[in-house]
Amino acid sequence: MSVNPDRPAEITPEELAAQTALYAPFTQAVRELVDATIRTTVDPATIRTAQAEVEAITARLREEQLEGSLGAHFGHGRARQPWGNTVVGLRNPVAPPLRPVPAGDREGEVHAEVVLGAAYEGPPGLVHGGVSSLLLDQILGTAAAAAGKPGMTAYLNLTYRRPTPLGPLRVEGWVDRSEGHKTWARGHVVGPDGPTVEAEGLFVLPRWARELLARRGDAEAPPAFE
């Protein structure tokens, strides 16, 4: 399927399912490659051979590609697929990926189970603090959107209570309160021994989006920010 970056593609649910079935396993295979690249102990000749093979695959994929990033090119109406997103993107091997689902009973509450491997290491054996921030920015933003109050991060305050081990983790976010176009959200990363990193952030529906909605008289349907 070709992609026009200026005009998001309308695709049917069947096409969406086909694209998902094609790209999700491909992206996961590249994630596995990253993990194997970090952890392999094979001999130098095998590394050089693998490098040539990876370079050949990269050249083949570049035979046809977008000018810029993936954006939100696919979907139905306003339900765009954030497939390039660095946290949740279906086509982004850098994304762990996080898969937030509605949970709990707080406003906008979403949870995501995730396993962070060697690619997300900061201190030895531990998750990089910036990665925890990345996940929390997304989950708090998703909570705001799930509450019907999407916005861009104006600030994000983090408290690192204790080290976060690599491995299985849960990330939780929910809305604390909102005033018009401003929504304050909270969340945390939960490890095997409880919460490790806590976050509090402000998400603002930007002025340009407020003006767009006012022109459309469409305050019930804010645009997506993913």
Ligand X SMILES: CCCCCCCCCCCC(=O)SCCNC(=O)CCNC(=O)[C@H](O)C(C)(C)COP(=O)(O)OP(=O)(O)OC[C@H]1O[C@@H](n2cnc3c(N)ncnc32)[C@H](O)[C@@H]1OP(=O)(O)O
Bridge partners (DSSP) listed for residue 174: 186
| 155 near ligand X, judged by CB under 6 A | yes
CB of 112 to ligand X, least distance (A): 12
Three-state SS letters, 14-81: HHHHHHHHHHHHHHHHHHHHHHHHHHCCCCHHHHHHHHHHHHHHHHHHCCCCCCCCCCCCEEECCEEE
According to CB under 6 A, which one of 154, 212, 214, 221 is a site residue for ligand X? 154
Residue with tokens 């952030």: 201
Choose the binding region for ligand X from 7-15, 26-34, 148-156, 163-171 (rule: CB under 6 A).
148-156
Among 145, 158, 166, 169, interactor with ligand X by CB under 6 A? 145
Q: Which is nearer to ligand X, 26 or 155 (CB)?
A: 155
User: CA-to-CA distance for 164 and 145, rounded, in angstroms?
Assistant: 26
- Report which residue type is found at 152: M
Q: Is residue 225 at the binding interface for ligand X, with CB under 6 A as the rule?
A: yes
Stretch that binds ligand X, among 41-49, 60-68, 89-97, 133-141 (CB under 6 A): 133-141
10 Å CB burial of residue 197 (0-12, 13-18, 19+) is: buried
Q: Please choose, out of 11-19, 184-192, 201-209, 211-219, the segment that lies near ligand X by the rule CB under 6 A.
A: 201-209
Alpha-carbon gap, residue 52 to 128, rounded angstroms:
30
- Which one-letter amino acid corresponds to residue 132? S
For residues 19 and 178, which CB has a smaller minimum distance to ligand X in the complex?
178
| Phi–psi pair at 66, nearest 5 degrees | -70, 155
19, 81, 132, 142: residue in contact with ligand X (rule CB under 6 A): 142
Site string for ligand X, 160-189 (x = CB under 6 A): ----------------------x-------
Please compute, for residue 122, the number of CA atoms within 13 A of its CA located in the half-sphere on the CB side: 11
By Cβ distance, which residue is nearest to ligand X?
Answer: 141
226 belongs to the binding site for ligand X (CB under 6 A): yes
Site residues, ligand X (CB under 6 A): 137-138, 141-142, 145, 150, 152-155, 182, 202, 204, 206-207, 224-226
